[in-house]
Amino acid sequence: MERRLRIDGHTLLAGVTGWPVAHSRSPLMHNFWLEQRGINGAYVPLPVVPGSFDVAVRGLQAAGFRGVNVTIPHKESAYRIVEEHGRLDRSAQRSGSVNTLVFAPDGQIEGYSTDGDGFVANVEAHGIPVKSGRALLLGAGGAARAIAASLLDRGVDVAVANRTRARADALAAQLSGIAVIDWAQAGDVLPSCQFLVNTTSIGMDGGADATFPLDLGRADAGLVVCDIVYVPRQTALLRQAASHGLRTVDGLGMLIHQAGLGFEKWFGAAPEIGPAVEALLDADL
Ligand code: ATR
């Protein structure tokens, strides 16, 4: 779709703050949706150097932006600003992170985390209900906490295994209801799980090429294997799962769904999450 650039006094503005931020695929998605929905808006990359996040956020708010996404290295600053001066949504409180800021009309800054709900929405978009059963999460970083919170909120039991056990224990201390499994023993709980979710960087292009302590041959036939890594889309874990006849959910859809939740808050319309935006991103991977 050809974008007709139309910037005027009514243009709604949003963007992504990060450092570096040039690699972000968010502008591609949001500007595509703006054009598709016929909304007079623009979404721009905002390179904000470390140490300047607070002043940048105040400036963007003062300049009339609707809000921004927040990526590395500013997520902690975003959480702190909203905790001290704004309104932390439940999603942000539960996940302990903020990836979406909304500059509300009353002058407040609202902070949300859309990762966990984006993950769940993506799985459900594959026709897989997320409302019961047990999930084994691999990893205990920020993404794991957001996903664990959303799964627990929907009534799914969560077990977490992490290479560094202390981080999994810390996660369990922050969110009640999580069972911690030793990394080397992760495979033991697999037969009783309906979801397996990789939130580690294993399988990522240019990342660690370590393997998981799991034998998917022991999984229940109904297991759904999810990876939040999306470069490459078909990770070794997903390929292995498919070879065992298991259903798989790749990470690209989560990226799209979590973005869609922010779009709706800033621009007041739900974006169309379908093959068109997926193809657009796929071509850019
Ligand atoms: P994010 O916020 O995206 O979740 P993170 O906080 O850096 O990222 O977490 C990365 C996760 O990948 C961690 O759980 C990390 O395990 P450790 O806590 O032991 O570091 C996991 N991870 C990264 N490389 C790994 C590897 N080679 N083997 C196992 N786990 C790995």
- 162 is known to lie in a ligand binding site: yes
Q: Look up residue 69 and give its DSSP letter.
A: E
pLDDT at 209 (0 to 100): 74
As a whole number of angstroms, the distance between CA 37 and CA 259 comes to 15
Q: What residue ranges of the chain have pLDDT lower than 50?
A: none
Q: Look up residue 200 and give its DSSP letter.
A: S
Indicate whether residue 167 lines ligand 1 (CB < 6 A). yes
pLDDT at 206 (0 to 100): 75
Residues in the chain: 285
As a whole number of angstroms, the distance between CA 231 and CA 203 comes to 8
pLDDT at 1 (0 to 100): 54
- The CATH fold assigned to 116-250 is Rossmann fold (3.40.50)
Query: Are 197 and 136 within 8 A, CB to CB?
Result: yes
43 closest CA partner among 79, 7, 89, 9: 7
Domain 12-113+254-284 and domain 116-250, same fold? Reply is: yes
Which of the following is catalytic: 75, 94, 257, 265? 75
As a whole number of angstroms, the distance between CA 118 and CA 121 comes to 5
Burial group, residue 264, by CB count within 10 angstroms (0-12, 13-18, 19+): middle
pLDDT at 2 (0 to 100): 56
Indicate whether residue 213 lines ligand 1 (CB < 6 A). no
- pLDDT tens for 23-47 read 999 999 999 999 999 999 999 999 9
Q: Look up residue 183 and give its DSSP letter.
A: G
Query: Which ligand 1 atom sits nearest the alpha carbon of residue 142?
Result: 2
CB atoms within 10 A of CB 221: 8
Domain ranges, ordered by start, for the chain: 12-113+254-284, 116-250
Q: Which of 163, 164, 165, 171 most suits a substitution to test ligand 1, by most atoms within 8 Å of the C-beta?
A: 163
Query: Which ligand 1 atom sits nearest the alpha carbon of residue 199?
Result: 4
Indicate whether residue 146 lines ligand 1 (CB < 6 A). no
pLDDT at 6 (0 to 100): 81
135 closest CA partner among 56, 214, 224: 224
- 166 is known to lie in a ligand binding site: yes
As a whole number of angstroms, the distance between CA 28 and CA 5 comes to 14
pTM: 0.95
Give the CATH number of domain 12-113+254-284; options: 3.20.20.100, 3.40.50.720, 1.20.140.10, 3.40.50.10860: 3.40.50.10860
